[in-house]
Homo-oligomer: A and B are copies of this chain.
């Protein structure tokens, strides 16, 4: 069974919805989605570090559409681990555990890894929205499209734009 490493923020959890919501609450401005394409999170939302350190930010993040159904099937076909860079925002640690339990109850606590750097995890396939995680990985690498990476050349990584494309790539019988 191949080991599949799946990222949380920007792949399972829709953190951009939260960024937009927090920004709107703060400034009253409803941001146009296209305005942030190609910008890093910190450029697109100047108070992003305050947002991610706010209790509830991760716990109340919506689930990215299609991820639950596809993950349920991937969990049968792969040795699945959820690996999230959470240590920079340590208050998020327990929220991330709770969020996963709530939305992906078919995953067990044995399958969750909260780390600082993802360099230390090994596997056959990694699905992530950040180059900094994919670039270090020694297996097949899949880039999940998010505004911050939308204009970048994926290079050696395969790009997927949604969970339907993840399923088509990783579940041949889908």
Contact = CB atoms under 8 A, between A and B. Distances in A.
A38 interface: no
A30 interface: no
B120 A3 contact: yes
Contacts of A121: 120-122
Nearest to A96: B93
Interface of A: 3, 5, 81, 83, 87-88, 90-91, 93-94, 97-98, 108-117, 120-123
Q: Is the interface of A mostly helix, strand, loop or mixed?
A: mixed
B110 A113 contact: no
B109 A90 contact: yes
6 smallest CB-CB distances across A and B, nearest first, come from A110-B116, A122-B122, A93-B93, A87-B109, A113-B115, A90-B97
A56 to B, nearest CB: 15
B109 A112 contact: no
Nearest to A87: B109
